[in-house]
Amino acid sequence: MRRSLFTRVYKKSTNQQYESATQQSESEFNIPIGLTLKENVENIKNKLGNPSDLIVREITVSNKHKCSILYLSGLADQKLVNDNILKMVQSETSQSEPNTNPSGTSQSEPNANPSGTSQSEPNANPSETSQSHTNSNQSETYQNDTNANSSETSQSEPNTNPSETSQSEPNANPSETNKNNPKSSQSGVTQSDPNLLEMIEQHVIAITDTKKVQTLYEVIDAILSGNAVFLLDGVNTALVMGTTGYETRSIEEPQSEAVVRGPRTGFIESIDTNITLIRRELKDPNLRFDVHEVGRRSKQKVVVCSVAGIVNPDILNEVNRRIKTIDIDAAPDSGFVEQWIEDSFLSPIPQILDTERPDHVTYSVLQGKVAILVDGSPFALIAPVMLGEPLQSLEDYSQRWMIGTLLRLLRFLAIFISLFLPAIYVALTSYHPGMIPTKLAFSIAATREGVPFPSIFEALLMAVTFEILQEAGIRLPKAIGSTIGIVGGIVIGDVAVSAGIVSPAMVIITSLTAIASFTIPNYSLATGLRVLRFGLLGAASILGLYGIILVFIMLCIHIVNLKSMGVPFSSPIAPYFLGNLKNLLIRSPIITLKKRPPYLEPRDINKINDGGKSK
């Protein structure tokens, strides 16, 4: 009945391939595994489109029960599959047929070296009485192996009752049983019942991460995730074994967030490694990882990381709720997740921070924030993010507090320059030349003498040229990348000026703006500011300084209305005030930073309880 349903659905899917492929109806996948091994394997093959990298290894357990191991060659660790699954099952099989199998070595070897008996075999379970009525070959094998010293067959054994051998055996030689790590005795069964699978899972398979699944959907899902699947003929349950192992990038220094002082580790594309990196830094039992699956087709793991007892449950629930709403085909990078769950998609300001650094994640999580890791992306997301935080680098805390403070102030200056400088230049030269000191005004006027454009066109020309150069520099292969730098430098810096297209002052403004924008530690914010810079340029060209001020006010309105995971973005300044400035505007000494940010309303507000006074 079930199979007929499957075939019906399958036929339908072949007839209307396009529809079924796009819809991927749930009913199609909720089909239970059938009892016939051959058909199951065929079904899986068909479902996957008979791929060339799907390895199907068929073996026979105890000479009668057919079984198959399926995995995708590139995704699963082949050595693991061969050594810990295939070899185990095979040796089990070979032991169960000592007479028919010419592999007497497995018997003779234990005799020579009793302690060296294939230790990899799982421990015997004396409670396997259900198999005790089976052929005596089995019990012979068992005894030969366990009573290695006697090196006799079962007939010479003092145990007279062959039907109870396996049961009485451990009683007879309990000490040896423990010492020699004996094998299981019960691989052979006449009927393929789930017990055999259970037994194989319990005693044969040498892999820790196993689970049983019932539906075809889960089997295919497991195979596609790199797991190996063990199917047994006549059993409608499949055994999924965690053998995922594929080539990953090694842990390197993060490209986008380099520091002078601080750990050099960066996240990689594998989420398991990334979780490990966080766990390695935080040995707190309260560290929590909530697992979600994102991507209708990619089925990526998305993990929400937080520290229970610190994080505000409202924020955590909100993050989890938003991640559950994600409905996309695939998320190649965490940026997809970020844009799906962020509060305002119209804003140029990132409301979720991205970082490549595990230490940044642990720091943020300890502040009461939530980190989101996406499988396949080396960028972790941190939410909620507040005003000024993208301007902070974790290195500020590694430095002495005075230099940390100075660096922070410097970054505020840099962000001011990168946002406003071109606009101010345009406003001053075209609307308010009286505001520039007279001598400077003269020298600027002299340099602008031959320039045929108004300053706004000059500024736009340079700004756009710079953007093109920057974009080209990223896209080009590294070998050619430096060429662009040289060509761009000459074009911008020298030739354009001597050709009289732009003024030298404009070159200074553009390069200063560009350099200042690179001091922002967060790349997403830096790119967001590029948009704002052009907006300010436009405003300055229309209304001069007044226009700049109006855009500045609009920016502030936008910021106060912006939220990150429901927390007001301007929180450090606006609802709460002075207490936060010591960690926002300046970086006061570490021992004075006693509290976690109050706007996150963490469960445990105190970072330092008494500042070490009690010691």
- Least gap, CB of 557 to another protein (angstroms): 5
Residues that bind another protein (CB under 8 A): 314-315, 317-318, 321, 431-432, 434-438, 440, 543-547, 549-550, 552-554, 556-557, 559-561, 563, 565-568, 570-571, 573-577, 599, 601
CA distance 205 to 157: 29
For another protein, the closer of residues 191 and 438 by Cβ is 438
Q: How many CB atoms lie under 10 A from the CB of residue 554?
A: 12
- Please report, for residues 78, 106, 610, the alpha-carbon distance to residue 60 in angstroms, rounded to integers and kept in the order given: 20, 18, 67
Q: How many CB atoms lie under 10 A from the CB of residue 592?
A: 12
Q: What residues have CB less than 8 Å from 203, skipping those under 6 apart?
A: 121, 122, 123, 124, 125, 184, 186
For another protein, the closer of residues 495 and 549 by Cβ is 549
- Least gap, CB of 293 to another protein (angstroms): 23
CA distance 241 to 229: 6
Structure-block tokens of residue 46: 């068909």
- Least gap, CB of 602 to another protein (angstroms): 12
Q: What are phi and psi of 362, to 5 degrees?
A: -65, -40
Strand partners, 293: 301
For another protein, the closer of residues 265 and 320 by Cβ is 320
CA distance 153 to 145: 10
Q: What residues have CB less than 8 Å from 336, skipping those under 6 apart?
A: 328, 330, 374
For another protein, the closer of residues 313 and 489 by Cβ is 313
DSSP result, 529-588: HHHHHHHHHHHHHHHHHHHHHHHHHHHHHHHHH-EETTEETTTTTTTS-HHHHHHHTS--
Q: How many CB atoms lie under 10 A from the CB of residue 557?
A: 10
- Least gap, CB of 458 to another protein (angstroms): 20
- Least gap, CB of 568 to another protein (angstroms): 6
For another protein, the closer of residues 303 and 548 by Cβ is 548
Name the percent of the chain in helix, strand, coil, to the closest 5: 50, 10, 35
Question: Any idea which residue has 């805390």 for tokens?
Answer: 397
- Least gap, CB of 520 to another protein (angstroms): 20
- Please report, for residues 332, 388, 395, 410, 607, the alpha-carbon distance to residue 590 in angstroms, rounded to integers and kept in the order given: 38, 18, 13, 20, 11
For another protein, the closer of residues 318 and 359 by Cβ is 318
- Least gap, CB of 542 to another protein (angstroms): 8
- Least gap, CB of 487 to another protein (angstroms): 33
For another protein, the closer of residues 366 and 567 by Cβ is 567
- Least gap, CB of 403 to another protein (angstroms): 24
For another protein, the closer of residues 345 and 577 by Cβ is 577
For another protein, the closer of residues 238 and 315 by Cβ is 315
CA distance 196 to 61: 10
For another protein, the closer of residues 318 and 356 by Cβ is 318
- Least gap, CB of 519 to another protein (angstroms): 21
For another protein, the closer of residues 199 and 341 by Cβ is 341
Question: Any idea which residue has 């109806």 for tokens?
Answer: 25
Q: Peptide bond preceding 384: is omega within 30 degrees of 0, i.e. cis? A: yes
Report CA torsion sign: 33, 39, 42, 47.
Answer: negative
Question: Any idea which residue has 């400088």 for tokens?
Answer: 421
- Least gap, CB of 201 to another protein (angstroms): 43
